[in-house]
Each structure stands twice: as structure tokens, then as C-alpha cells.
Amino acid sequence: MKKFFLIYNKDSSSDNTSSILTDIIPAYQERGIIVTPFCLNVGEKEDFLPLLQTGGFSGVLVSGGDGTVKSVLSFFLKHGIDLPIGLIPAGTCNDLANSLGLPKNNLEAALVPLSERVKVIDIGVINGDSFFFSSCAGGYFMPDDTDYSPNFFKKFIKKFAYYMRAALRINRFKPFDLSLSVDGELHRFQAMMFGVATGSQVAGFGNILKQAELDDGFLDVFVIDNCSYYQAQRIIIDIIRGKFVEHKHVYYFSGSSIYIDGPALLPVVFDGEEGDKLPLDIAISKKRISLFF
């Protein structure tokens, strides 16, 4: 009898999180597959490590948003866990799951591994010792003390909150000096923000880097150059229209080795979580994680 291990974050913003126990586990049992659940909010990841190393599991289901996925997959890489992974997109932003083309519905996404189709994806390696699996972005766009609580937005209006807040705050974006080296070719900008992605989706938007693939062996990079408030609003419209990289203040690059330097305190997020500061030495690591799709 096949066995799957299920790791979930019960504080995920998805309204369907309760379906993990009421729908997903029974759906697997009906197909003769035993599912062993583990709640990240109760135990530590080290608690399930011996079980995954010796338990004979056919795969792992991970339920949560990009932050949860980053935490779990980084742990797997650190400890040499090499099992195919099924993503259940239960978070505020689910860029990796969306880049894979997974269903939005939790139960439908959870059943994808039953097809046994696997894509082995590339990942980003940051300064040689940490990872991101979807995207990283930097700029003076982080919340300040005058903003509403991020948890309030995440819980009640979900990912639309991020788009709305970006539009409201865009006149407060501050330009900064940015040095960007792509495969050894140096570029300098007065930038509003930058992003590096392994796939097509960034911050919940599916139209940003349409040409990017999770397994193409390249990192895709964009820089928004210093521009007026009007032009910044036009960029948001172009994102929605799928013409982001065509805007005159957006610069697009692709490569396998990226070096980024700028203000030491510039906020940078990786898969939605704050991480290393500049400078960043980012490299593509090919074919590292197996995902059901």
C-alpha cells in the first residue's frame, strides 16, 4: 500500500484549509493510499525527519503558501530528503504552484500527485547557502508602522491586499542605486525595484515573465527604473495586460549567474519572506526538486 506524508500550515490564509483533514485524506484513502499528516504549527520539522528517512513514503504533500513551501523545501535540501512533492496552494500567494499550472482548488491540487507526473525544477541559490523556489524582490516597498497589519489583510482580503497596497504606496517608492551583473555583464540603474524569478509568476501576478519556465536552466530578472508616479501606475496596468516587460521603464534579463549590489539596508524578500540583504550572489541550481504537476 502506498503512503504519502502531508505537511500543512493550519494558519494558512486559505478558506479551504479545513479540507485537508475532511476531504484530502479520505480522498487518498478511497484510492488505497495512507496519508500521514503533520501540522507545522504544533511540532518542529526535525520531528518528522526520521519518519521521512525510513518510512517508505511515495511522496510528500505540502499545504501552505510560498513561505511554507520555501521553509519545507529548504529543510528537505539541507537534510537530503529526495521525494516527489505535491503542492496544495493554501497561502496568500502561491507563485510556485501557479507557475506549475496547478488547480486553485485545494482538493483538486492535492489529487494531482495521483497522476504520477513529475517535473524536476531549478532553484535559486542565494550567497551559496540558502534557497528560493519562486522569486525574490527588492525595493523600498515594505510596510511601515502607519500601515494596517499585514495579518489583517492576509486573513480578510487575501492576496488582493498586496496589489491594493502596492498601488496605494507606489508614490512612496524611493529610487536607489542598483548594480546588476548578469553572467558577468554589468548594468547600473536608478531603480524603483528589482525581481529575480525561476518561473513565470511573481507576487501573485501570472503575466509578469510569461517566457520563464521552472526547468529552463535560467534565472529571469527584471528592474523597474526610476519613473514618474504616472508611469508607475502604467506599469501596474501593463502587468494586468500581460505587457510588463514591454514597458519602457522595465528592463528584462535572463542568465544563470546574477550579482546584485545596492543599499545595505534595502528590504529584500524571498518567496514572500524577508531574507538576506544586499549584496546578493544568486546562481541557478538545475534540476533540484521534483514536483508533481
pLDDT of residue 159: 44
Structural domains in the chain plus CATH codes: 3-116 (3.40.50.10330), 132-287 (2.60.200.40)
pLDDT: is 155 or 211 the higher one?
Answer: 211
Cα separation of 104 and 255, whole Å? 30
pLDDT of residue 154: 45
Burial 59-81 (b: 16+ CB within 10 A, else e): bbbbbbbbbbbbbbbbbbbeeeb
Mean pLDDT across the stretch 225-253?
85
pLDDT: is 196 or 208 the higher one?
Answer: 196
Q: Is the pLDDT of residue 127 over 90?
A: yes
pLDDT of residue 133: 97
pLDDT of residue 128: 96
pLDDT of residue 142: 53
Q: Is the pLDDT of residue 17 over 60?
A: no
pLDDT of residue 204: 66
Give the Å distances, CA to CA, from 210 to 5, 75, 93, 222. Answer: 33, 29, 18, 12
SS percent in the chain: helix, strand, coil, step 5 = 30, 35, 35
- For 140-163, the pLDDT digits (tens) are 865 444 444 445 444 433 444 454
207: pLDDT confidence band, cut at 50, 70 and 90?
A: low
Ranking 29-38, 128-137, 196-205, 275-284 by mean pLDDT, the lowest is 196-205
Ranking 104-113, 146-155, 219-228 by mean pLDDT, the lowest is 146-155
Q: Is the pLDDT of residue 22 over 70?
A: yes
Mean pLDDT across the stretch 15-23?
71
pLDDT of residue 237: 80
- For 46-105, the pLDDT digits (tens) are 999 999 999 899 999 999 999 999 999 999 999 999 999 999 999 888 999 999 999 999
Q: Is the pLDDT of residue 173 over 50?
A: yes
Half-sphere exposure of 58 (CA within 13 A, CB side): 16
288: pLDDT confidence band, cut at 50, 70 and 90?
A: very high
Contacts of 107 (CB under 8 A, 6+ apart): 16, 19, 23, 24, 27
Contacts of 99 (CB under 8 A, 6+ apart): 134, 198, 199, 200, 201, 212, 214
Rounded to the nearest integer, the mean pLDDT of the chain is 87
pLDDT of residue 291: 98
Residue 142, C-alpha cell as written in the block: 515594505
